[in-house]
Amino acid sequence: MSKYNKVGFVPVMVILSLLAACSDDKSANQTTTETAMDHAQKHLDPKYVCPMHPNIIRDKPGNCPICGMTLIKKEPEQVSKPAEKKILYWVAPMDPSYRRDGPGKSPMGMDLVPVYDEGGDSDVTISSAVENNLGVRTLPVERGKLWRKIDTVGYVDFDENRISHIHLRSTGWIEKLIVHSEGERVKKGQLLFELYSPELVNAQDDYIQALRTGNKFLLSASRERLQALGISDQQIKVIQKKMRSEQFVRVYAPQDGIVAKLMVREGMYVSPQMEVMSLADLSSIWILGEVFESQANWVKEGQPADVRLSYIPGREWEGSVEYIYPSLNQKTRTLKVRLRFDNPDEVLKPNMFANVSIYGGPKEQTLIIPREALIRGGGDDRVILALGKGRFRAVRVTAGIESGNWIEIMAGLQEGDRVVTSGQFLIDSEASQKASFGRMQSPSEPTEPSMDKTRKIGKAQTDGQTMDTSAPAPVDHSAHQSMEKPVPVDHSAQQAKDENVPAAMEHSQHEAQAAPLRGRGVLHEILPAEHKVKMSHDPIPALQWSSMTMYFKVKPEVKLDGLNVDDKVEFELENGTGGYVIKTIRLAK
């Protein structure tokens, strides 16, 4: 074999060996296909963690040193290929209110950026062991009857229809007081006090004189005068029988009850404008309740109600709504309602506090969940939806009326869904944190078909300057003219996603306030009339700007004389009302 044949023989053998190896790999893949992610899954190192203290991690089984609970095996997370997110719409980077259905340019000439559907980013997955240790309980969403039950508080008051006020119709003195203190019980017709009044004595004398004369007109007038002054018909008959006036007039109780007020004592001078006493009947009482403004439409007159007192357990009084007051309390924003209850044994005393329940009628065929399943937030209400196999999701809902231990769901859930009723706050906290981190991360970009690894950042505009870090030449959007040549970009410093460029610039502007805003560059165009220059500048660390070509505004007092195109210059920026402007510029040393 010649020398050249030997040289050609070696590569041929190598190629044949490689082909055989590929054939073996191919046959192996036909029997069991293993991706790189599947292979990495085998090398994940499982750990043992405490269900209540996730910071306690051990390599072997054991007990938690804090709570003593048995450590559980931490299941490795399944590594899966991230699914492509759906694009909802496209927005302008500097004006999120500008939306379009497809890609394009904003009114400022910037590339629109996509907004992705976050999908199930807030889903939380926990193992069955942790679920049991946390005591997670779920209940189905049901459709049924929800009573408009109003639970409120009230206080007992007198039935004002059963209160009698004792006033005199003439002046005089209390000669003898039979009732001595408030709270005393009196019967109808019982003597209350005796009164001496000269005016009443004179009226009796006139009546006796009319009786003696027999004048019917005077007799009728004098009798009516006695009745108008408060003399009862029984007392008038006694005067007519004795034909003698009584010096002390007796006043009797008009009803059964208790003395609610007593304003006089023996010997006191009284007048018609004075309230002598008041009597109240406790066989029927009022309870005045306060209903929240949101429940005011539920209350109607005649609705049944019941009352319970904490200091009389086991007993319940049944009554009804008698009257609804026409206006709300301005301070408490509550509506006062009046309920009447029979009180034959007088157990309910005025000024007692009571727990009141008013039944406003049922609401049929409505979605209901337990009240403890609803998580109320500052701006929205949500529940934790159980998806099965240890997966949970926070779902926004619209809550309706609340009655007892149940609450109506108007939107967000369907009949048969299972909601978490215990342990939901821990899951909600985890879901909220996961969704927040998901929003901070940028959606993955599609791979460019070309072999060019240059990233296209796109156009962005910050505080009046138009910046272009893409491969095409920059554009002066104010003049709508094309630039001359592209300027290379330092792509190692630009790792942000397209949609995160404005946020990064905004962050850099805050940091720039504490550092000098100096830079170097090469002039490409000088526009003294517009107080503007175009240059390719080096990276500006204070603003976290990479090398790029852009237009800069120049302060009016800055002189551009002596500067020419292609000059290397040094400049200093100032953050003005319209953005960053050049406050000093000179030739580079």
* Span 61-98, pLDDT tens digits: 888 888 888 888 776 555 445 556 667 678 787 776 68
- The pLDDT tens digits for 228-249 are 988 888 888 888 888 888 889 9
> Which architecture, in CATH terms, is 124-158+285-441?
Beta Barrel (2.40)
**Mean pLDDT of the chain, nearest integer:** 76
Pairing of strands 548-554, 579-587: parallel
- Which residue has tokens 């000059």? 567
Q: CB of 257 within 8 A of CB of 162?
A: yes
Q: Which two tokens stand for residue 300?
A: 């109607």
pLDDT at 23 over 90: no
Those residues whose C-beta lies under 8 Å from the C-beta of residue 231, and which sit 6 or more positions away, are: 200, 203, 204, 249
pLDDT band at 362 (very low <50, low <70, confident <90, very high): confident
- Classify domain 160-280 at the CATH topology level: OB fold (Dihydrolipoamide Acetyltransferase, E2P) (2.40.50)
Give the residue extent of every domain in the chain.
3-33, 124-158+285-441, 160-280, 459-587
pLDDT of residue 202: 92
Comparison of pLDDT for 475 and 219, the residue scoring more: 219
Q: Quick one: residue 513, left, alpha or beta (phi over 0 = left, psi -120 to 50 = alpha)?
A: alpha
124-158+285-441 against 459-587: fold identical: no
For 542, the 3-state DSSP assignment is: helix
Distance CA 427, CA 432 (A): 9
> Is 3.90.700.10 the CATH number for 459-587?
no
Running DSSP on this structure, what letter comes out for residue 69? P
Q: Name the residue with tokens 């053998």.
A: 13
CB-based contacts of 499, cutoff 8 Å, min separation 6 = 93, 113, 114, 115, 442
Closest CA to 281 of 378, 400, 399, 160: 160
Give the pTM: 0.43
Q: How far apart are CA 544 and CA 467, in angstroms?
A: 13
